[in-house]
A = this chain, B = another copy of it.
Amino acid sequence: MADQRPTFKAFKKEALRNPDVKAAYDELAPAYAMKRDMIAMRKAKGFTQEDMANLLGTRKSSISRLESVNSENSPRLSTVEEYARVLGYRLKIEFEKNKPSPKIN
């Protein structure tokens, strides 16, 4: 993938000019980022999904679903909190003001 990095960035930038694409992206981006972080934290400890399942008293299939970006589930806050807790992290929830969308007219 190394060779096409600039191409992909350009593609992404161009795609995001489409308001529908932008809306969908903004909606999903936070969840994507969160799951990316969760997986990174787990791997940093050398844990498998099954390790997490044991720590949390559940099954690896649940962990897979929780980490899956494709899953159409929106997990409970407490589910994410506990996942983080067994890895030695605590959840910090913040609210960021939206950037005002520049007027087109």
Q: How far is the CB of A88 from chain B (nearest CB, A)?
A: 5
CB distance from A69 to the nearest CB of B (A): 14
| A97 interfacial contact with B, CB 8 Å | yes
Taking a contact as CB atoms under 8 Å apart, the answer to whether A88 and B97 are in contact is yes
Task: Assess the B88–A78 pair: CB atoms within 8 A.
Answer: no
Interface size on A, residues (CB 8 A): 28
Q: How many copies does the complex hold?
A: 2
9 residue pairs of the A-B complex, CB under 8 angstroms, read A37-B93, A37-B94, A75-B76, A76-B77, A80-B93, A90-B95, A91-B96, A92-B93, A92-B96
A90 touches B41 (CB 8 A): no
Q: A95 near B96 (CB under 8 angstroms)? A: no
Stretch at the interface among A3-11, A14-22, A25-33, A57-65: A25-33
CB distance from A58 to the nearest CB of B (A): 16
Residues of A47-105 contacting chain B, CB below 8 A = 74-81, 84, 88-98
Using A77-B76, A80-B77, A98-B88 as known contacts, say yes or no to A93 and B30 having CB atoms under 8 A apart.
yes
